[in-house]
Amino acid sequence: MSADVHGSLDWLELRRAGVDAAQVVDFSVNVNPFGPSPKVREAILAVDISAYPDRRALLLCEALAVHNGVGFENILTGNGTAELVWLVAQAFLRPGKRALIFGPTFGEYRRAAAAMGATVYEQNATPPDFEISLPVWMESIYQIQPDVVFLCNPNNPTGVCLPERQIRMLQGACPAHTLFVLDEAYRAFYHGELFAPPLEGNGVVLRSMTKDFALAGLRLGYAIAEESTLQALRRFQPPWSVNAVAQAAALAAVDDLNYYEDSLRKLRSVTHDFKNALMGKGAQVIPGEMHYFLIRMTHTSVPHFRKELLQRGINVRDCASFGLPQYIRLGTRLPAENQKLVDVWHLLESG
């Protein structure tokens, strides 16, 4: 299963390949490689796991509300941002409704919209640079009159980031009934700020603390929107969806912002060095500002390349599920780990 719909390690695949998961450096995910703050580990140890978590994650919602400049009733936490994507689809899509997705992008929008029986339209940016044409995208909104729009910004996997003005233009092109979903899972990696005020009007902003706060094993996402929109999502959320450990971890993380701001700054420079080293080995890196990036493979097939790397304890994201079978996506890791990939690059990708 090399062209899976998501990154991260697949233990069954590793077992079949005879590879020990503990030995693999995982470049297939876009998580902050510096890991969580030490305060998060302390907070986790203090959690009473025999007690149910607060259903509303009240303390966390209050903290997130203060940082984002909204009321706590405008925040809904989820078991990862992926859960929130599914709640949007459940609450706002069904047969006869239309979802418009700006891609190529995160696959859960399509899966969730299709699972609800909605008609799914995709407007995709194309290689080599994946730049978007705003007039074309606006026209697609006028033509399709979607019930839900999914826009991932900065986008996964292309790394393209639209300025706020263009986002507002896309939102403004939507009919009054459209729910405009802006997935900012990677915002902090681009702008360096961990929080920001949400969209105005009828929009939902999604953020993923899984990524910037490095909580991938716990997963924590949140939505910011008008209370009535969040009430609609809540109707479909299982109770106690965000467990006590995740709540405590996220709360402690928000209490140590200096640690994360510092790690995001370091990540920029590590990414810069990593890309340069790969380009020095002849890799065709697609330019961008993000800590994850696409590479166009020219001399070898991606599934073969990926398999060879896995045997050497390296996991990369095959981009076939994004409709980009000639590309891999790499998420920057720590310097020594990055070097491991740089060292084997030319052995595998040579003409």
Ligand X SMILES: Cc1ncc(COP(=O)(O)O)c(C=O)c1O
- Positions touching ligand X (CB under 6 A) are 80-82, 106, 152, 156, 183, 185, 208, 210, 219, 221
Q: Which tokens in the block code for residue 31?
A: 């998580």
CB nearer to ligand X: give 80 or 104.
Answer: 80
The span from the CA of 261 to the CA of 80, in Å, is: 21
Q: Is 219 left (phi over 0), alpha (psi -120 to 50) or beta?
A: left
Least separation in angstroms between CB 350 and ligand X: 31
Min CB(156)–ligand X separation in Å: 4
Task: Report CA dihedral (38, 82, 186, 181) to the nearest 10 degrees.
Answer: -140
**Which contiguous run of DSSP H or E holds residue 204?**
strand 203-208
Residue 218's identity, in one-letter code, is L
Least distance (Å) from ligand X to the CB of residue 255? 20
Q: What is the dihedral of CA 110, 230, 238, 54, to 10 degrees?
A: 140
Question: What spatial distance separates the first Cα and last Cα of the chain, rounded to whole Å?
Answer: 26
**CA angle, 13 then 185 then 45, to 5°:** 70
Write down the least CB distance from residue 101 to ligand X, Å. 11
> Least distance (Å) from ligand X to the CB of residue 30?
6
**Distance between CA 290 and CA 160 in Å, rounded?**
8
Q: Which is nearer to ligand X, 319 or 349 (CB)?
A: 319
Quote the least distance from Cβ 73 to ligand X, whole Å: 22
Of residues 81 and 229, the one with the C-beta less far from ligand X: 81
* Between 187 and 275, CB nearer to ligand X: 187
Residue nearest to ligand X as judged by C-beta position: 80
- For ligand X, the closer of residues 182 and 345 by Cβ is 182
Nearer to ligand X (CB atom), residue 180 or residue 345: 180
HSE (CB half, 13 Å, CA atoms) of 324?
A: 30
